[in-house]
Amino acid sequence: MDQAASLKGDKRKTRVIAVASGKGGVGKTNVVANLACVLAAAGRRVMILDADLGLANLDVLLGFAPQYNLSHVLSGEKSLVDIVIDGPRGIKVIPASSGIQEVTRLDAREQRILLDQMEAFDGQFDYLFIDTAAGISEMVTSFLVAAHASVVVVTPEPTSMTDAYALIKVLHNRFGEQEFHLLLNSVRNMNEAEQVFDKLHLVCEKFLDISVDYLGYIPSDKAIPEAVRRQRAVVEMNPEAESSKQFLRVARELEQMPVKKQTGGLQFFWRRLLHGEFARE
Ligand SMILES: Nc1ncnc2c1ncn2[C@@H]1O[C@H](COP(=O)(O)OP(=O)(O)OP(=O)(O)O)[C@@H](O)[C@H]1O
Ligand SMILES: [Mg+2]
């Protein structure tokens, strides 16, 4: 029954969506920030885990300066509620970037701290977005496997396409992952998005025997770097921009996406992540 439950029909369970790309700098953080803003504006309760070690971090993008992060929780200096930051529209952000590398290698005591404290958030959010780092590290793959849905951001650049394919291949071959939602970013238009999607779809089908899903596209839009400079999400700063309109469509798509993976809520996600319980249900 759970498997068919969409967010609309089940308010209690948090849907965990990990956003990755393989290649760095292709727009993951922008995607997370903007989708979070759109969904929060529509009344969804949204939390973001900032697991991005890149330069243009979420805090820069959404205009806040975290003093503490997950490492302070793990050391016992702070509790999780102390480090959570209020973003725009009631979005909560867990600044994790400097503490996140160790998360898959925590000892039993630290795991307990994290799991106990995460319990406070159980049932509090409709969405948890995870903004992952570039590359295909163990940390990134762990998040993707533990999450309920994986969004892969890809641009028409050949290196972005090959890196996205490499990421999908590792997740499929090593962890048996079957489901990937492609989001085409920085494209000229819908045609280009579909061409890039078709190419990736074809190689995934041919060499991995899996069918990737088309989530949507975001055009290359100068309104995005303008918004980044002002530390705002483009959907907030310039709702009429072409990219903002597409973020709206993608968010709608996301809301309707059937959840094929078991949706055991937030606690379940953390347990899977920390204990490496990656067997598919
Ligand atoms: N659709 C777009 N149109 C124009 N510029 C964009 C678009 N998407 C992202 N950018 C620009 O690309 C840059 C990188 O974006 P972002 O920081 O979101 O990428 P990232 O994948 O999170 O990077 P990292 O791998 O370093 O974490 C930003 O400066 C942003 O302004
Ligand atoms: Mg980033």
The pLDDT tens digits of the residues spanning 174-187 come to 999 999 999 999 99
The mean predicted confidence, pLDDT, of the chain is 87
For residue 26, which atom of ligand 1 is closest to its CA? 21
Residue 236 lies in a domain: yes
Average pLDDT over residues 220-236: 95
- Kindly indicate the confidence band of residue 144, based on its pLDDT and cuts at 50, 70 and 90: very high
Q: Torsion angle of alpha carbons 256, 164, 150, 179, nearest 10°?
A: 80
Residue 7 lies in a domain: no
Residue 194 lies in a domain: yes
Residue nearest atom 26 in ligand 1 by C-alpha distance: 54
What does pTM read for this prediction?
0.91
Residue nearest atom 27 in ligand 1 by C-alpha distance: 54
Q: Which two tokens stand for residue 120?
A: 């406070």
Q: Name the residue range of residue 177's domain.
A: 13-275
| Of 60, 131, 224, best ligand 1 pocket probe by most atoms within 8 Å of the beta carbon | 224
Residue nearest atom 3 in ligand 1 by C-alpha distance: 220
CATH code: domain of residue 96: 3.40.50.300
- Kindly indicate the confidence band of residue 52, based on its pLDDT and cuts at 50, 70 and 90: confident
Helix ranges restricted to H, 125-157: 138-146
Domains in the chain: how many in total? 1
Residue 99 lies in a domain: yes
Burial of 182 (0-12, 13-18, 19+ CB in 10 A): buried
Residue 6 lies in a domain: no
Residue 187 lies in a domain: yes
CA 146 to chain centre: 12
DSSP one-letter code for 95: E
Residue 73 lies in a domain: yes
